[in-house]
Copies of this chain bind each other. A is one copy, B any other.
């Protein structure tokens, strides 16, 4: 239901493909719509539900986070980065269109994310909304997701310590997962203790998501994943599986899941949907 809701909201927020420049807008829609787990919007809405937010208000925050994620995938797939040809079961943006267009698509999707979150009412007060914009930018920028990508690039073929691997993942994936939860929490009237508890949960959930991703990349098939399986190993990138082995990676996922549940249990609001999502993140096979 939230996935359907997010799809509709994204369709509404993305420029229609008859507005000039038509090709750029078509490519933006191609890259965002019709696929994806929408994990970040799900987390954002679940956190919003925990703080009794109006789902309408949560939409722009949820879509803003998803657009940041979508932009990062488009750029990540480019030849100078991962050089990947398959994403969500379809040709990547630069394969379907061209490299220059894919570059601009990523750029414009990032801009649109901030535009959405600035333009539409998304919090009980404008000052709170500025905090949300700051949180999203911190999570996306050079000390967050983009920084994680840079560390990832530098790590190819390197022997990382498990601490360095965790540092990379906390930036590359964790920061935006965390932002999804925190932005959702800010759409309602969460007190400081609730925000802190949700922040603690978000840290565990972010790392859990990445460990499960590593396990799926090692175990899954290209068909179920909708993206190229086994590419971390093929590109000689360090993963939890390559560093500690499949069994210990699974144990780690189980532990993180417990810690995430424990963090939720300490919060004084109804976090049922976040708990369910934690299980979904762990048990997914795509």
Chain A residues with CB under 8 Å of chain B are 15, 19-21, 23-25, 28, 71, 75, 78, 80-81, 98-101, 103-104, 106-108, 110-112, 114-115, 118-119, 125-127, 129-131, 133-134, 137-138, 140-143, 146-147, 149-151, 153-154, 167
- A19 lies within 8 A of B143 (CB): yes
- B21 lies within 8 A of A101 (CB): no
Inter-chain contacts of A98 with B (CB < 8 A): 80
Tell me if A's interface is mostly helix, strand, loop or mixed: helix
Inter-chain contacts of A112 with B (CB < 8 A): 137, 141-142
A106 CB contact (under 8 Å) in B28, B107, B149: B107
- B118 lies within 8 A of A130 (CB): yes
- B115 lies within 8 A of A103 (CB): no
The distance from the CB of A120 to the nearest CB of chain B, in whole angstroms, is 9
Taking A78-B103, A126-B125, A137-B118 as contacts, is the C-beta distance between A23 and B154 under 8 angstroms?
A: yes
Give the copy number.
2
A141 CB contact (under 8 Å) in B78, B115, B129: B115
A147 CB contact (under 8 Å) in B108, B126, B133: B108
- B153 lies within 8 A of A100 (CB): yes
Inter-chain contacts of A153 with B (CB < 8 A): 100-101, 104
Closest to A27 in B: B150
The distance from the CB of A146 to the nearest CB of chain B, in whole angstroms, is 4
Taking A114-B133, A130-B129, A130-B130 as contacts, is the C-beta distance between A151 and B20 under 8 angstroms?
A: yes
Taking A23-B150, A108-B146 as contacts, is the C-beta distance between A103 and B80 under 8 angstroms?
A: yes
The distance from the CB of A115 to the nearest CB of chain B, in whole angstroms, is 3
A107 to B153, CA, bound (A): 15
A150 to B15, CA, bound (A): 14
Inter-chain contacts of A100 with B (CB < 8 A): 80-81, 153
The distance from the CB of A153 to the nearest CB of chain B, in whole angstroms, is 5
Inter-chain contacts of A147 with B (CB < 8 A): 20-21, 24, 108
A126 CB contact (under 8 Å) in B19, B110, B130, B137: B130
Taking A75-B103, A146-B111 as contacts, is the C-beta distance between A118 and B134 under 8 angstroms?
A: yes
Taking A142-B21, A143-B19 as contacts, is the C-beta distance between A80 and B108 under 8 angstroms?
A: no
